[in-house]
Structure formats: C-alpha cells, structure tokens
Structure 1
Amino acid sequence: MPNKPLSPGAEHYDFILVGAGSASCLIASRLSQQLPDHQVLVLEAGEHIRDDPNVQTPGLQGRLLLNPAYDWQYSSVPEPGLNDRRVKHPRGKLVGGTSAINSHSVVFPNYEWHDRIAEELLSDSGREEWSSQGMRDCYKRWQAESSGPGVSNNEDSLDRVKTSFPRTIDVLQSKWTEAFEELGHATRTTGFTESSVGAVTVTNAVDSSKAERSHAATAFLEPALKRGNVILRTGVKVDKIAFDDALTADGKLNAKGIRYTYEGEEYTISAQEIILCAGVFESPAILERSGVGSKTVLAAANVPILYKLPGVGENLQDHLNCGLSCETHEDIPTRDEAMRDPEEPKAALLEYQQSRTGRMSEGAAYSFAFTPLQMLETASETHELIEAVNHCVEAESNPSLQAQYSVIQKAIESPKEATATTFMLRSQRHRDGEFMPKDTPSFVDGNYVTVVAMLAHPFSRGSCHISSDPSLQPDIKFNYLSHPLDTEILARHLRLIERLFQKPTFTAMAKPGGKRLPRSFPHPISSLEDAKGILPINSATNYHPCGTCSMMREELGGVVDERLRVYGTKNVRVCDASVLPVIPRGNILTAVYAFAEKAVEMICREAESGFSSD
C-alpha cells in the first residue's frame, strides 16, 4: 500500500515518473545522481517485491508469467489472423516492470534501424541525436557484461544491469553455430552494431556472480532510493494528468501534476514535469483519460478533449513467432525431462540453492541468429517478394504507414538485415493446444530441439485504447497477420528452419523416425502453403508490444517528438516501449533502456538552463 498522501496539492516534486518499469527505474537512477538537488517521485501501481526466489532465480521465470502476483495479465481481443485466439500479454506487476518477469535474453537492434528511424520519421533537429552514432553510448551505458571489458573510470559509478554469457556451451548450443556455418554464414559477435548474417550467442540479464536475475529494480531503482532524492510510492494507479485551465503563451497544455484515487479520495501531486513510463498499454490510456488523444476514442469514453492527437494508442506492434520441433537422440541433453518428471525440477532447484549452479542458474535462450530474406529463397523468388513489398509501399495511402513501411522495405532489400530473428530452445514447444482434442497431454515423450522464427519488422498494426468503462483494462487489438506480407515472410522463415533440419548437423542429432512438432502438423514442411497453414494455429507472441505513443513527426501520427515530449504539451514526456515507432529486430528491452538513457541526457541538459517549452 502507498504511504498516506498529504492533503490535495500539498506535495510538489521536480519530476513525477508514472510507473516503475524498466525505463522509469533507469531514469530515476540517473536523475538521482546527475540532478541531486531535484526531487523525484516514482508512482507504481504494483508492489516492490524484494528478495523473492521466484524473481531472483533465472530458471523459475515460468512461475511468473500469468501469475497474478507478478503479472497484470493483459490480453488481446480475439485475433482473426490467429483463428480468433486471444493472446495473453504478461506485463510486470512489480517494481522493475517486465524486466523482472521476462526470459532474460539480451538482443540488440542494428545501426541501420536507428539511422532510418532518425532520417525518415523524425524532424531535422532530432536526426543526429537519434542516429546510430548518437545512440552508441546509450546502448553501452545501461549494462555491465560480466565477461566484457571494464567500464571507464568516469562511468564506473553508474548503476547497471548485469549481463552474462552461459557458463558453459552445451551440445545443442555448439551445434547451433555449426548449423549456420553449413549454410555459409559464420558466427558473428553480438551487441549494438551494423547488421550481419548468421548465428550469435547472446548474453542474458543474469548476474553471474550471484546467478540471479538482474533487472531494473535491483540495478537502478534500489540504489537510487538510497540517495535520498527519489521517493517510491507503490499501490498507486494514476487516473490522469492534471492540466492548468489556461494554455501557455505558445498555446500548449501545462501539466500541473498527477491525479489518482486512494481509499475513495482523490489526490493531486504537483510537479514541474511528468514522465509517463507506464508501459505500452497504460501510457496511452493515461493520456486518453487526461484528454489527449483521438477525438473519436475520447468521445466514446466520454472524456473531454484537450488536445487532438489521433496517434495516441495507435501503431501497436509486436513480434509474432512460429517454431518447429524435431525429436533428438535420447543421449542429447535437453530440458524436456523437466516437463515430464516433477522430481527433476526439484533436484535442479536444490542444486541451485546449494551451489548456484545447474540449469536454474541460467536463462532459457542464448542461441540466436539474424536471418535475412536472401537466405530463404532463390534469387528469382527473392526478387518477386521484394517487388511485392515495393508495390505495397507505393500503394499505401496512409502517410504514417508509408513512412514506416519504407523503413521496413529497406531492411527487406538488404542482404545483411534480418527479416526474422531466429532462436533455439532446448526443449519441445507447443502453441497449438487450443486446436487439439481436450484430452491431449501437455507434453509428449522424447527429447526435442525447437527452432523459432520471430518476424523482425511486421507490417501489421494494431491499437490500444481506453474502454468506456474506466475499471476495465484497455481494449488491445494487435491484428496479427492482418497484412499479407507478414504471412509471406514468416512462412518463408519456417522453410528456412526446415532447411536447417535437413542439414547434416541437425540430421545427425535427430532421432531416426522421430516425431515432429507442432502436433497439428507433425510432418516436414514441403511447401510454402504448408508453412502458411501452420501460422494461424502455431504462432505466438514474443511479448514485445510497442508503438502506441510513437516518436514520429506529428503529421505522421506521432505522439512524442524527438525530445520524447507529448505534442501539444509543455512538460509531459513518455519514455517506455510505447515510443518505439517501428519495432526493432530483436528483444525490445535493450532499446527501452537505451531510449531511457537518451531521455536523461535531454532532461539534464534542459535542467541546467531551466525547464524549456521550445
């Protein structure tokens, strides 16, 4: 529960951060050090869960998702492209946000993605700062890789997430890199860099010195709370931003504070600046409840409109993935036994508790690969698909989508850039359970390796808007596979997985006559139509929603400008996954942290000369 607030209007802070997720924790940490004379309030709807083994133990990540103690349990509406399945979207219900419940893998965007966003979606004043070269330090600053080079003396006092590679490379992980070398692509280094093709072993957000999860709360907010100028208040769900009745001299809304209800009473806490970090679903909802958004959406919710900004809640994107599994020889160690034998997880947990070793001490996925379209097809087939993309971009009449599709088009045309990020799981995987008979067991006998293709830059777009009933969660529509190019590209990546399975490395590991998954199509893929048929019933989310408060020019449907300030406002920013205008190729958390680092740079520059409304 939160501390009992003072009387309405009695509290005042320099900054109020709404939400204590990944970006907010980092921003609070940096402000606490760089602006020690400024007071920062962090408001979080969840709780600060400390010293919880379920959160700390890397191998217990599965206990967190869909558990109401840790997860807000968002869900989409029925998705037509996925045979009307509702897709569950876990979001962290604790300080640290989703960084405290995710699956640890650290995958970076590429230089080209940043450069194209800066060049094609932002105004002139933001292009240099948001280019790849302008962002390089931001991607370095938030993490400390345990096996990497030491940080420089002037940065060694910064709070950082601890990342690490696997302690040992097992059989499947070593075979992963060999398989891509058989396709003619050498193993590459990981990190924020130019695009390259091939397999990589990535780090996970695991502190190897403790064998514990390293997340935003432990890395950033807890050290900040000890410095004395950051206050955390939990159990507080923000209703809306309170604006002055009068506009500023240049016609903008001036936020005077945050309004929330606690124990039946309404409170307003005032601040010089509001920074929304409430996440991809809640940041746009707060703006809409505050009167900033689409005229149609606000009218339906009976909210008076203060500033018409139709991009709020639009442009929702996510990484859709689909995987195939093949049965391996029994002597190849996988993690399938843990699914079938309840004693195995108990033994693994006991080993972890006694020595901090074993599978519970590491994340689930370290083996990734960046796979471009040119790896998938013959030259003529590649040309045909590129022509289809070109026609799509030229025919698009929506200026925002045309600009975004142009960014994606260039990635597709590049022989170096991933059209899917592919990764390996050392276990069987089932995503078609809803389409199997009710008595179908959850798991099948045997050991399996699963290869998953995650569509890097989907063309499909969805939305997230407040409901007419304020007590309900927002209406979330992803519209998965609503754009035909997503089906065309992702299906081709399933064919690439089949090619991997047919190469010597995988055939040597595969059990002769062994089973194939998904159970709804237990055969090798022999055609593009086979692959397309699997997608609606076996695709799943990578839990990477973003885009609902996009950083783009306002005429393109943007919600925040290149300083992350909400259009039409003087002193309201957004910084979380919602500001990513085009989803990056891999796990989005690295970009969220880097964007938060850039936000701090901007805020501190402005603070040195006083708050600015320019």
Structure 2
Amino acid sequence: MGKVYVNPEQLESKDYDFIVVGAGNAGGVVAARLAENPSFKVLVIEAGLSDKAEDSEALRIPLLAGRTVGTPFDWNYTTTPQPGLDGRAIPFPRGFVVGGCSNTNNLVYIRGPAEDFDRIANVSGDSGWSWANMGLYRQKNERHVRPWNNRDDTADFDPAAHGYGPLQTSLPAGPNELDRRVIETTKQLPELFPFKRDLNSGDCLGVGWLHKTIGDGARSSSSTAFLNPALQERDNIDLLIHAQVTRLLPNKPGSLDIRTVELAQTKDGPTCTLSARKEVILCAGAIGTPQILQLSGIGPKDVLRRARIPQIVDLPDVGQHLQDQLILFYQWRVNEPTLSSFLRDPANVGAAMAEYASSKTGFAAGAPFYNTIAFLRAPADELLGVNDPAAGPNSAHFVLSFINTFLPNPGQPAPTEGEWISIAVVLESPMSSGSVNIKTASAFDHPDIDPGYLSSKHPFDMATMIAAFRTIQKFFSAPAWEGYFVGPADEVAPLTSDAAIESFVRKYATTIKHPVATARISRAGDTGGVVGADLLVKNVQGLRVVDASVMPFASAGFPQAQVYMIAERAAAMVREKWD
C-alpha cells in the first residue's frame, strides 16, 4: 500500500496532489483524511525519525510518557535567556518523530472550554470554528475506551462528550488515596472547587478526571490512529522521513503560487524539489512552521534582512506572538502510601515492565502519576485594571494537577525517603508573548525561541502564579485533608510571602511544551495574522497552515486535543475545495 521512504531519491513518483510538511499531531490527521479520497495522491514529509525506530518503546509505553526529552526523538531546542526566569535559557522539547508531539507528550487529552473555540470563531470571522459547529470534528476524531483493566468507568465520563473516531482516550485504571481526597474536596468546597464529570464537554472550569490518549494499554497518537493505518490500507499516500524542508518556492519565478518544497537531509547535502498539484500544507508546528515560512521569504522584513533572505511576501506576524505556558511543582510529605516508595525500588519498576512486555497490562499500561486536575480562575482582585486574557468567564487562568509522588522541578533535589505528593501549577492564560525568528538562511540552524515568559509588562502572569499557590492552600483547607500531611518540602516550607513565592517561580518554572500563535488566524481582510479563516496563508496561493501555530492565543485546555479538532476541520475544508 503506501510506502515509507528514507531518501528523496527513492521516491518512485514525484507526482502528488498534496504535500503535507510534518507528520505530527495535525499532519497525520490531515494526510490520512485526504487519502480517504482515492483520486488524491498525498506525500507526507517528516524531518524526524520513524515511530518504529530504535528505542521507540519509550513512545508507546504509557509509563514512559514524556521520557523522550533530550533523546533523538526530540528536536532539542533551547530558548533564549529569559529575564522572567532569572535569566535561565530552558530546554524547549518538540517531537522529532513521526507523530510529532502526540508521540512524546504526557498523554493529556482535554479540549478546554467552549469559549476557546468561540474566540477563534470571533477572531477569524468564521462561525464554523465555534464550539457548537465543531461538534462533528470532535465526534469523528476521538472515542472513549476503557482502561487496561477494563474497569467500569461509566459513572466517570459523559458519553455525549466523546465520539467514534480512531484516536483512543481513557480514564485511570483505578483511583488512589490522593484522588479520593481531591474528589471529596469538591463535595466539601463545591462553590470554590466544583466537580465536573467530563472535562471534555466544553465546560471544564472546576475539578475532574484526566482523560489520556491511551488505548489497549499503549499510547494512541496521530501516527498510530491516523497516519500508519492510512499507509497500511491505502496506495495513494506515501511518507518520506529523515528529510527536512529547507524552504518553499514559487512554482514560477516571480509568482506567488507557492506549491513547491525544497528539501535536504543534511545541512551541506544536496537539495531537491517537489511540487504539489493542489496544495502544500504546512503542519510543522509552532516552531517549524514560522521557521519554514521565514526561510521562504514570507515574514517580517527585519527578521529576513538579518538572515539575508529576500522578502517575497511581507507578513509581519510570521513567528511573532508566540505564547507558551509555564509549569511548576510544589511538594508535600504525607502520611498515606503514594508511589514514592514504590518507585524507589528498581525491582518494582522492573516487574511492572516485565508484566507490560508479556501482556500490555499493569502499572506500566497507564500513566498512574496524575489522575485528577483542576481548571481554576484567579480571584477577581487579581484582574483589576487588566483585560482578562482568558477566552471568557468560564475559561481557566491556571491549572492544578495532583501528582501521586515527588516530582522535582529541574535542578531541585528529590528526597530519598518518605511518601510524597506534588501539585503542578500551569499558567493557562498568560498575557506575555514572544517570538520565533530565524538567525540564518539554513533550516538546520535552530531559530531563536523567545517565549517572553513572565514579562514585566504583564504583571498579571506572576500575580496568577502567586494566586495559584494561595489556591492550593485553600484547597488543602478542606476537611478531606485532615491528618494527611506531614509537611511541605524543604524549599516549599518558606513560601509564606508573595515575594518568596515569586522567587520560587522564577527559579524553577519551565515550559509545559504548549507553544501556539506563531502563524495565527485572523479575518481575511485584516492586516495582522498569517492565515485567514480557511487557514490559507495570506497574499499567496497554494499554501495552507494546519497546526498549533494558527491558534491565536494560549489554550485554556491542552492544545493536543484542540489541534486534533482543527486538523479535522482543515482536512474537511481542503476536501470540500478539491474533491
């Protein structure tokens, strides 16, 4: 059926209707959906590794989710030094593999509030992006399945919030003592922390169960659910890996018809070109997409001038408005068993991996560290004099995620004894933003990635991080937590003032890996933005962008789920145009 190539010279045909650049979260969906029309010929180009490469078990085994940071499956980007993080330059992981970040992330599938999509509809002028009108694409993309132990979870989710698609999502195999107390708190403090039965319903302000992209005891991703089945079942789709798109070219000199891609396998190696009869569809992500556009002469004049690239289209927003979300961990020692002592004994982990190897069941078949999560808003007084950056009153400013062991921040020492829990704080709706800009004319040189975290121009962001810590204290004031705590970790104990909390945040906060908005959507006639409501790049022909870069603002959910929905509608748009 479809073929996988490792060298452009191997391509048996160079005659394609669509060239999809990037086999990640969005690219796998778009390519597979287009290939459903047997008259289309589709090529997917992926710079990274096969999802079946050596050591790829780390992609599939749920227990190992997130462990590919810094490995060959990671682009291994680093940000510029961040003034808001005490001058630290931090690792900025992105998936360098078929399936992209859907194969390297921490599995969370939460679509976020309906207001996020209603805001996209408003910004783009296209009501088709509204939550109500995206229902079909939610349904056809994802389906709920039971966890590996076949636990009856019917009381813990809303079937109406899930569909019949190939992507599998599931709930935890079994609640733990921490989860029990979290849910009990929603009953004792319902006005502050309401329980939400299903966080994928579009109403996710409150506390609920985490849905994860796990099915049949393994990660479910863009490649396992969409691209690989298409390659196995259809002869009109091909995949080329280990090939990096170096720039996009006009089909004819002087033309703004951009349907040709130039690619290479090494910085100094030969290049070749391929042209699409219908469209080139950029799905290279919030870092790769603006980089390729700028390398092609599409972007801000000053950025292109510094890289000595002739400008062919003046689109000042390409690579600008980057928004990302920070994550930070606080830890407490507790009286009840957690996973802390279990994980300290290598024999336990070894036994779990052995069970998984034999039956894809047991501890390693789930992601047991985090089962519950809270989407919450900062107190009203934190917003005085500030335009609310969230999409609406039912959208979160921050997240608390409840973790059943000690999870250290980068550079923070972990204890060698005792039972521990951690609370992750995520800044969901930041006001700060930054940029992704090329430094040279080579696609093999990483761009400058400057998320602009905790900018002094936007004190709301730090105020929200402080408010989040104060909210944890309110959460733990519920009767459900009586007798549970021994005490906070050594570095958490002194956090009694706003200044101390701020210092801790700046010392330890890092990326949760959710970059968006570097090729953001806008109305067709607007001078700002990079793509119109149809995701076609402005002022050129034949070029469309489908990935997290088109999202205009940081998601108040988890962008993986939102990108899947965007990709489904984008594929439908393309098919409607060309079928």
Give the TM-score, by structure 1 length: 0.85
Alpha-carbon distance in structure 1 between the residues aligned to 2:406 and 2:357: 26
TM superposition shift of 1:359: 2.2
The superposition leaves residues 17-39 of structure 1 with CA deviations (integer Å, 9 ceiling, x where unpaired) of 00110101011111111x21000
Alpha-carbon distance in structure 2 between the residues aligned to 1:70 and 1:5: 21
Q: 1:289-438 residue pairs with structure 2 within 5 A?
A: 289-329=295-335, 332-363=336-367, 364-374=369-379, 382=380, 384-390=381-387, 408=389, 411=392, 414=393, 416-431=394-409, 433=411
Alpha-carbon distance in structure 2 between the residues aligned to 1:91 and 1:409: 25
- Number of equivalent positions: 552
**Residues 122 and 114 of structure 1, relative CA distance in 2, 3 Å threshold:** same
User: SS at 1:591's partner residue?
Assistant: helix
**Residues 352 and 7 of structure 1, relative CA distance in 2, 3 Å threshold:** closer
- Say whether the 8 Å CA contact 1:139–1:591 is kept in structure 2: no
Give the TM-score, by structure 2 length: 0.90
Q: Does 1:506 align with 2:481?
A: yes
User: SS at 2:187's partner residue?
Assistant: helix
User: SS at 1:204's partner residue?
Assistant: coil
Q: Does 1:76 align with 2:83?
A: no
Once the two structures are overlaid, the 10-residue window that deviates more, 468-477 or 552-561, is 552-561
Of 89, 97, 107, the residue aligned with 2:92 is: 89
Of 445, 460, 472, the residue aligned with 1:485 is: 460
Of 261, 264, 272, the residue aligned with 1:261 is: 264
Counterpart of 1:236 in structure 2 is: 243
Counterpart of 1:39 in structure 2 is: 41
The superposition leaves residues 428-453 of structure 1 with CA deviations (integer Å, 9 ceiling, x where unpaired) of 122262xx7xxxx5444211111122
**Residues 522 and 236 of structure 1, relative CA distance in 2, 3 Å threshold:** same
Alpha-carbon distance in structure 2 between the residues aligned to 1:62 and 1:589: 14
Alpha-carbon distance in structure 1 between the residues aligned to 2:462 and 2:416: 28
Alpha-carbon distance in structure 2 between the residues aligned to 1:92 and 1:10: 28
More helix by share: 1
The superposition leaves residues 217-270 of structure 1 with CA deviations (integer Å, 9 ceiling, x where unpaired) of 11101111121110001010011111134566xxxx101311112473221111
TM superposition shift of 1:469: 5.8
Alpha-carbon distance in structure 2 between the residues aligned to 1:409 and 1:293: 28
Instruction: Provide the aligned C-alpha RMSD in A.
Output: 2.5
- Say whether the 8 Å CA contact 1:204–1:366 is kept in structure 2: no
Q: 1:104-183 residue pairs with structure 2 within 5 A?
A: 104-119=107-122, 121-123=123-125, 126=126, 128-147=127-146, 160-183=166-189
**Residues 139 and 9 of structure 1, relative CA distance in 2, 3 Å threshold:** same
The superposition leaves residues 7-62 of structure 1 with CA deviations (integer Å, 9 ceiling, x where unpaired) of 999722100000110101011111111x2100000001112132832222110224
Of 1, 18, 21, the residue aligned with 1:18 is: 21
Q: Does 1:531 align with 2:501?
A: yes
Q: Does 1:446 align with 2:395?
A: no
- Say whether the 8 Å CA contact 1:563–1:602 is kept in structure 2: yes
Q: Does 1:462 align with 2:434?
A: yes
Alpha-carbon distance in structure 2 between the residues aligned to 1:522 and 1:342: 30
Where has structure 1 moved over 6 Å in runs of 4 or more? 7-10, 148-152
Runs (5+) with no aligned partner, structure 1: 375-381, 391-405, 609-614
Q: Does 1:205 align with 2:175?
A: no
The superposition leaves residues 314-356 of structure 1 with CA deviations (integer Å, 9 ceiling, x where unpaired) of 1111111223211011xx3322235533333212212322343
User: SS at 1:109's partner residue?
Assistant: coil
Alpha-carbon distance in structure 2 between the residues aligned to 1:480 and 1:389: 17
User: SS at 1:255's partner residue?
Assistant: coil
- Say whether the 8 Å CA contact 1:23–1:575 is kept in structure 2: yes
**Residues 443 and 236 of structure 1, relative CA distance in 2, 3 Å threshold:** farther
- Say whether the 8 Å CA contact 2:78–2:449 is kept in structure 1: yes
Q: Does 1:61 align with 2:46?
A: no
Counterpart of 1:401 in structure 2 is: none
Once the two structures are overlaid, the 10-residue window that deviates more, 295-304 or 235-244, is 235-244
- Say whether the 8 Å CA contact 1:421–1:586 is kept in structure 2: no
In percent, how many aligned pairs have the same letter? Answer: 30
Alpha-carbon distance in structure 2 between the residues aligned to 1:294 and 1:334: 51
